[in-house]
């Protein structure tokens, strides 16, 4: 049985390893989030926004030509059709409502590729709240279109100039901002990472993905359970959402796809489940890439959304306990999968998502199987990279 404990542990992983300065804020959310999410008024607001603003339910699409290629039955959960172009907005809608209930007047967020930053800036514009997004100085350079989108939406983008100047440093800066503004600010974390209750809270907001898959698949095939669900994992929010309602349905295989960059053993990788060891990152006990001395190592992937040195505690538990299977995909394999999907189905996926598609070449399945791939985001933001590597 996969579940989370009162203290926020999935098996050995999770918890809240935070400085005292963050204790009152995190404790306030911990004490109220479940009740708040289950509250009828909250649910009504949340559901309405997901429908009318985000455009949910997103379609479940039978990809016939892809199915023909792989000689099986492949359905795509079209999170790329969400407003702002990825699943990230499911969570930011939930958290902005939470922030309002807590009476917070200012929103902060971290972002890597910029998708979560855009999704946060979007809901802040919607609710008229000021928004500061921390982004690694290196990522600001390589994800310019999303930086411009955030600015156009009225957010302030602050470069994280410490450390390696990427996602983990943006997260550190956001945490420091929260320490400096404990009373008026809510921190919208973008993935199933961070101190408890963030991993569980974000998973609950994203769980709408698997909630929809259940009834959509039932309508399409007569069975609500697929044989496999495939999703890419950086921190792991889209995978958490796609797996959520199937966690305790053991006959459903859960495939977590990590980015192995130039190869798992190349030294340029983000394959946390094999390269990581148990430790603490951003307030959570989980698997992370680190030196024997406990210094966190900067990972590498062509996809800015997957190059995070940790993995959400739920996924660490799912993989270590054998409930989920980890698959590793290189930059080149992801690029090839993106080009193939574009031509075969007319869908340009985000680079992160392309890793999930490449996994079809790595796993075993039967001809009669029903496979759901979570198409977590669209590839507009990655066009430069795609064009550059098209050769």
- Which residue among 79, 110, 173, 258 is the active-site one? 110
191 flagged as catalytic: no
Distance separating the N- and C-terminal Cα atoms of the chain = 48
Q: Is 71 exposed, middle or buried (0-12, 13-18, 19+ CB in 10 A)?
A: exposed
What's the Cα-to-Cα distance from 344 to each of 68, 120, 348, rounded to whole Å? Answer: 10, 32, 10
88 flagged as catalytic: yes
C-beta of 176 vs 389, nearer to other proteins: 176
Round the CA-based radius of gyration of the chain to a whole number and report it. Answer: 19
C-beta of 98 vs 170, nearer to other proteins: 170
CB of 113 to other proteins, least distance (A): 20
CB of 28 to other proteins, least distance (A): 10
- Which residue among 88, 104, 168, 381 is the active-site one? 88
C-beta of 85 vs 310, nearer to other proteins: 310
CB of 20 to other proteins, least distance (A): 4
381 flagged as catalytic: no
**Lookup: tokens for 91:** 């969570």
- Which residue among 77, 79, 376, 381 is the active-site one? 376
Q: Alpha carbon 26 to chain centroid distance?
A: 21
What's the Cα-to-Cα distance from 328 to each of 155, 213, 286, 308, 313, rounded to whole Å? Answer: 35, 24, 19, 14, 18
CB of 272 to other proteins, least distance (A): 15
Q: What is the DSSP annotation of 143-172?
A: THHHHHHHHHTTPEEEEE-STTSSHHHHHH
Return the number of other C-beta atoms located less than 10 Å from residue 126's C-beta: 14
Contacts to other proteins by CB under 8 A: 7, 15-21, 23-24, 162-163, 168-169, 172, 175-176, 179-183, 277-283, 290, 292-296
C-beta of 151 vs 294, nearer to other proteins: 294
Catalytic residues: 88, 110, 376
């Amino acid at each position: 049985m996969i579940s989370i404990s009162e203290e926020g542990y999935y098996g050995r992983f999770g918890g809240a390893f935070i400085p005292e300065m963050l204790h009152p804020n995190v404790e306030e959310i911990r004490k109220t989030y479940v009740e708040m999410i289950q509250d009828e008024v909250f649910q009504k607001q949340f559901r309405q926004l997901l429908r009318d603003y985000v455009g949910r339910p997103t379609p479940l699409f039978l990809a016939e030509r892809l199915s023909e290629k792989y000689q099986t039955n492949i359905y795509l959960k079209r999170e790329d059709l969400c407003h702002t172009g990825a699943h990230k907005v499911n969570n930011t809608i939930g958290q902005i409502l939470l922030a309002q209930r807590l009476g917070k007047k200012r929103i902060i967020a971290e972002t890597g590729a910029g998708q979560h930053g855009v999704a946060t800036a979007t809901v802040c514009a919607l609710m008229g709240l000021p928004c500061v997004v921390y982004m690694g100085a290196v990522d600001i350079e390589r994800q310019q279109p999303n930086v411009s989108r955030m600015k156009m939406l009225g957010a302030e983008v602050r470069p994280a100039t410490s450390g390696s100047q990427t996602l983990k440093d943006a997260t550190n800066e956001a945490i420091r901002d929260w320490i400096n503004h404990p009373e008026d600010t809510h921190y919208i974390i973008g993935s199933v990472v961070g101190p408890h209750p963030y991993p569980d809270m974000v998973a609950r907001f994203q769980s709408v993905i698997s909630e929809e898959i259940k009834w959509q698949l039932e309508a399409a095939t007569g069975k609500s359970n697929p044989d496999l669900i495939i999703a890419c994992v950086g921190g792991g929010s889209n995978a958490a959402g796609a797996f959520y309602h199937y966690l305790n349905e053991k006959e459903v295989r859960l495939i977590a796809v990590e980015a192995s960059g130039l190869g798992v053993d190349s030294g340029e990788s983000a394959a946390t489940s094999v390269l990581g060891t148990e430790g603490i990152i951003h307030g959570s006990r989980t698997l992370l890439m680190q030196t024997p001395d406990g210094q966190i190592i900067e990972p590498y992937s062509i996809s800015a959304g997957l190059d995070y040195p940790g993995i959400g505690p739920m996924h660490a538990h799912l993989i270590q306990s054998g409930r989920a299977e980890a698959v590793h995909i290189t930059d080149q394999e992801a690029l090839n999968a993106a080009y193939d999907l574009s031509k075969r189905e007319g869908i340009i996926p985000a680079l992160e998502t392309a890793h999930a598609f490449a996994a079809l070449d790595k796993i075993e399945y039967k001809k009669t199987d029903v496979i759901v791939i979570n198409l977590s985001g669209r590839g507009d933001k990655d066009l430069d990279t795609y064009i550059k590597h098209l050769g």
